[in-house]
């Protein structure tokens, strides 16, 4: 009997195609909403080389941007924009907020590389998180954020400059487009959402 | 013992049913071409050998997929994966109504198309792979400079409801692939790698503000108007969009 169960397990695991929504493990908590990024199954690695699932971030307000660390043009400005947002967060509710930089160049941006980028930019502490995944997961994630990107040379990417805000359910609630734009509304949205969390 | 045998048979049938869904694929040999968009300095892009479905995925094929993955049916699919027009022409979850079973499935989102291919052990073709395979006519690998070829494609763009036609009703190209032009537009894995100015998204400031490096991406051949239309269309898409003239087919790096 054991053998059969094993055989079934093997066969099931061979199917790359799993019906994710029929996942039985998530019944205890409130179900994930239809528009939530936590419906995405993708696995990510942070700057400490730790594997995390997006779902583990549930319950926080997320501020996300897609960058690559070897970028010389827009990314430093995008990082500066993120920093500017961080400086305006209300100290009382800041603990409910994560600022996340996702790499669009997972090949170059190894966890080590992300780590040194974090240290160089003095972002190697809360509330900053750096994430990378496979090229496919990254493409899918960008699709959700409506971020377009393309490798134009071995070291350079063309990409949309968009900062996205997600509520604790993982629903996209606001996007700031462009570089160096006024971020008052973005900051307001983030603070409002963070205050709702007890 | 009997239980054991019945489970064994179940598994065999299961495997057979996976194989039954296999679609015919054509082998596309490695080569290089200069795509309309995306090449940095008009240098040719190399496309490695790959396999591409001979036909687009049909209503019938897609129904089989949904039966196995009900979470991708029109009433169950999550909002993040598809907008409201997902499979809008289907009668209900497991019925495509009066649509032709052998015509391409359309009104599918990128997420659903991607999932379908994954379930076949395949993937969506990249934009470069798709464009490379689609520049061939019956006889030539690259027919883009041929007037008749471009006229054919552009005249299709003017026809309406070609999505109702049966797969295989257009020409067989050099690689043995049908219907790349003539029935429906098709999703590619990296459709969201396009940068066109004045695209449908609100880019209030100039493009350089929204897109870093956009200045280095230029049209290599504005004569290639047909391709320009495809890129412009892809540039206007979002991954949860579904429209009646947009279908897909799958690709694979290794022989499946």
CATH number at residue B162: 3.90.1580
- Please give the radius of gyration of chain B, using alpha carbons only, rounded to the nearest integer: 20
Name the minimum distance, in Å, from the CA of B192 to any CA of chain A. Answer: 5
Is the alpha carbon torsion for A36, A38, A39, A45 positive or negative? positive
> Between the CA of residue B109 and those of B155, B195, B227, what are the distances in Å?
26, 20, 22
The string of pLDDT tens digits covering residues A136-185 is: 999 999 999 988 888 877 778 888 889 999 999 999 999 999 888 899 99
Establish if A7 belongs to a structural domain.
Answer: no
Q: How much is the pLDDT for A18? A: 63
Q: How many domains does chain B divide into?
A: 1
Residue A160 to residue B76, Cβ atoms within 8 A: no
Q: How many domains does chain A divide into?
A: 1
Alpha carbon A29 to its chain centroid, in Å, reads 22
Q: Are B121 and B256 in contact (CB under 8 A)?
A: yes
Establish if A13 belongs to a structural domain.
Answer: no
Confidence of residue A41 (pLDDT cuts 50, 70, 90): confident
| Ranges A81-85, A133-137, B14-18: which has the least confidence | B14-18
Q: Residue B17 is part of which domain span? A: 2-252
pLDDT at residue A22 greater than cutoff 60: no
Instruction: Output the six-digit token pair for A173.
Output: 């609630």
Q: Residue A49 is part of which domain span? A: 40-196
Q: ipTM of this predicted complex?
A: 0.80
Residue of A72, A57, A128, A146 whose CA lies nearest to A105? A72
pLDDT at residue A108 greater than cutoff 90: yes
Residue B210 to residue A34, Cβ atoms within 8 A: no
Contacts A13 to B, Cβ<8 Å: none
Establish if A175 belongs to a structural domain.
Answer: yes
Contacts A161 to B, Cβ<8 Å: 209-212
pLDDT tens for chain B, residues 1 to 256: 555 655 555 555 454 444 444 689 999 999 999 887 655 556 788 999 999 999 999 999 999 999 999 999 999 999 999 999 999 999 999 999 999 999 999 999 999 999 999 999 999 999 999 999 999 999 999 998 888 898 899 889 888 899 999 999 999 999 999 999 999 999 999 998 887 644 334 333 334 434 444 433 444 444 567 888 888 888 889 999 999 999 999 999 997 6
CATH number of the domain bearing residue A169: 3.40.30.10
Supply the DSSP string of A47-97, one letter for each residue.
Answer: TTS-EEEGGGGTTSEEEEEEE-TT--SSHHHHHHHHHHHHHTS-TTTGGGE
């Amino acid at each position: 009997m054991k053998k059969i169960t094993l055989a079934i397990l093997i066969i099931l695991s061979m199917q790359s195609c799993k019906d994710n929504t029929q996942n039985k493990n998530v019944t205890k908590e409130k179900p994930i909403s239809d528009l939530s990024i936590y419906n995405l199954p993708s696995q990510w690695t942070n700057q400490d080389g730790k594997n995390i699932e997006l779902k583990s971030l549930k319950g926080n307000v997320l501020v996300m941007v897609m960058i690559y660390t070897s970028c010389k043009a827009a990314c430093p400005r995008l990082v500066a924009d993120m920093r500017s947002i961080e400086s305006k967060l209300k100290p009382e509710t800041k603990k409910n907020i994560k600022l996340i930089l996702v790499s669009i160049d997972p090949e170059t941006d190894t966890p080590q590389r992300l780590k040194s980028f974090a240290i160089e930019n003095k972002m190697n502490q809360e509330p900053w998180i750096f994430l990378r995944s496979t090229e496919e997961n990254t493409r899918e994630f960008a699709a959700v954020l409506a971020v377009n990107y393309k490798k134009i040379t071995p070291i350079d990417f063309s990409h949309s400059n968009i900062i996205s805000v997600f509520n604790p359910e993982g629903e996209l609630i606001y996007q700031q487009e462009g570089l160096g734009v006024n971020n008052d509304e973005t900051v307001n949205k983030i603070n409002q959402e963070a205050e709702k969390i007890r | 013992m009997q239980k054991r045998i019945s489970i064994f048979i179940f598994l065999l049938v299961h495997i057979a049913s996976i194989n039954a869904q296999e679609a015919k694929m054509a082998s596309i040999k490695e080569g290089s071409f200069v795509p309309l968009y995306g090449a940095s300095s008009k240098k040719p892009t190399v496309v490695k050998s790959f396999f591409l479905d001979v036909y687009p995925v049909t209503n019938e094929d897609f129904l089989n997929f949904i039966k196995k993955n009900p979470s991708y049916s029109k009433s169950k699919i999550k909002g993040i994966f598809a907008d409201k027009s997902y499979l809008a022409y289907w009668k209900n979850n497991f019925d495509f109504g009066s649509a032709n079973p052998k015509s391409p499935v359309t009104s599918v989102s990128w997420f659903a198309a991607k999932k379908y291919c994954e379930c076949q052990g395949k993937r969506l073709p990249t934009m470069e792979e798709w464009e490379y395979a689609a520049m061939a006519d019956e006889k030539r690998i690259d027919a883009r400079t041929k007037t008749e070829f471009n006229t054919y494609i552009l005249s299709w763009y003017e026809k309406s409801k070609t999505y109702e036609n049966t797969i295989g009703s257009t020409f067989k190209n050099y690689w043995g692939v049908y219907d790349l032009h003539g029935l429906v537009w098709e999703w590619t894995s990296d459709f969201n790698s396009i940068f066109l100015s004045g695209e449908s998204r609100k880019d209030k400031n100039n493009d350089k503000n929204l897109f870093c490096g956009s200045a280095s991406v230029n049209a290599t051949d504005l004569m290639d108007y047909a391709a320009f239309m495809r890129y412009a269309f892809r540039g206007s898409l979002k991954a949860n969009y579904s429209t009646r003239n947009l279908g897909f087919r799958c690709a694979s790096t290794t022989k499946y």
